[in-house]
Amino acid sequence: MKNIKITEIHIYQHDLDIKGKPYKTSLSEVNSLDTTIVKIVTDSGISGFGEVCPLGPVYQEAHALGARAALAEMAPHLIGMNPLQYGKVLAKCEQALMGHNYAKAAIDIALWDIIGKQFNLPLCELLGGAKRDKVPSYYAISIDSPEEVARLLVEKQKQGYQKLQIKVGGRDLAEDIAVVRKAFEVKEPAIEIVLDANRALTTAEAIRLSQSCRDLDFILEQPCDSYEELTKIKANICHPLYLDECATDITVVSRSISEGVADGFGMKVTRVGGVSAMRCVIDVCHAHQKPLSCDDSWGGDIIAAVCTHLGSIVEPRLSRGVWIAAPYISQPYDSENTVQINDGWIDVPSAPGLGVSPDTHLFNHTQSFS
Ligand code: 0XW
Ligand code: MG
């Protein structure tokens, strides 16, 4: 085993400003997101980058200040460790801090970046190989009026997206139903639609939404808050049910499949702990033939690259696409290698590791450990 060592860990803060209108879901409306970048430096001259960017403090149990505090708690314990032995490094993180998977994910991602650079392989090849050289993306249409949602849906269909997510929830259910019906007036037959309430519906609202639109073909993503609420509505809805926010780790993923609750997943890489954990989720979904997307709550070029690499190892038939924030972000932080969506598809990066080299001069340096 090549014996290289972690010599420094640097933590940065950066604002990802949203271009145009705010990004609006049932629970929040955001104009800018606070992301955290981790740089792990080794004595071999190789450095790896990780990132974690909660979608504000209410999308799920994660927030930007918490990420940086959790990273500061763990970082000192990792100095001197061999990053190629990522399992040992992650075990040390567990010994240093309980929980906080979203922060641990930034370290996990940076370790995989180092491993790829060390062995001159892109992340997808380290994970068994990309099943295709580009992956489908999807666009999430914010909470808006029926007319605006329909206009955007037509625009995104023309741009080549095969899958579109429509945000619902957080308002009178009649408004959501009007949005859905208007959207289906302009939807092309081949386009897959997901309605995502981001946990905001009551069980009664979720059942009413599904029953009143039983003639329309869409997927319901995380309509209610808790896993228990989703188990209660399952028998009373007439649409496939996908889990997102409550799929917090591999145990919920496997339980929801074995209990017949989840028909698929909208996964977030940092929520489950990063690349190492997400690879397990993909394996379980393959074994049970459950569709999943490889997304994150938000993030810049590092997160976009990670989601794309992971999305490329998903069986194409089970891929619900890869969501990245690039279309909503005003300025990438690695303009040379930024992952882009072209005609609804994303080319899988081919450079070693993540294939991203952020310019840390753009970031606010917060803490360093050596
Ligand atoms: C559409 N996303 C992947 C991006 C936003 O973080 C929300 C998330 C979702 O599916 O809820
Ligand atoms: Mg979702």
Question: pLDDT of 345-355, one tens digit each?
Answer: 999 999 999 99
Whether 23 and 78 have beta carbons less than 8 Å apart is answered as no
Write out pLDDT tens, residues 240-260: 999 999 999 999 999 999 999
Output the average pLDDT for the chain. Answer: 97
Domain formed by 6-120, architecture: 2-Layer Sandwich (3.30)
Is the Cβ atom of 198 under 6 angstroms away from ligand 1?
yes
Write out pLDDT tens, residues 170-199: 999 999 999 999 999 999 999 999 999 999
Say if 6-120 and 125-347 have the same CATH topology: no
Q: What is the pLDDT of residue 2?
A: 72
Report in angstroms the alpha-carbon separations of 81 from 6, 23, 91, 276.
Answer: 6, 40, 11, 18
Which residue's alpha carbon is nearest to atom 6 within ligand 1?
297
Q: What is the pLDDT of residue 82?
A: 98
Q: Where are the domains of the chain?
A: 6-120, 125-347
Write out pLDDT tens, residues 139-162: 999 999 999 999 999 999 999 999
| pTM (2 d.p.) | 0.97
Report in angstroms the alpha-carbon separations of 179 from 140, 143, 164, 173, 183.
Answer: 14, 9, 14, 10, 6
Is the Cβ atom of 307 under 6 angstroms away from ligand 1?
no
Task: From the options 3.40.50.11810, 3.30.200.20, 3.20.20.120, 3.40.50.2300, give the CATH code of 125-347.
Answer: 3.20.20.120
To the query of whether residue 167 is one of the catalytic residues in this protein, the response is yes
To the query of whether residue 39 is one of the catalytic residues in this protein, the response is no
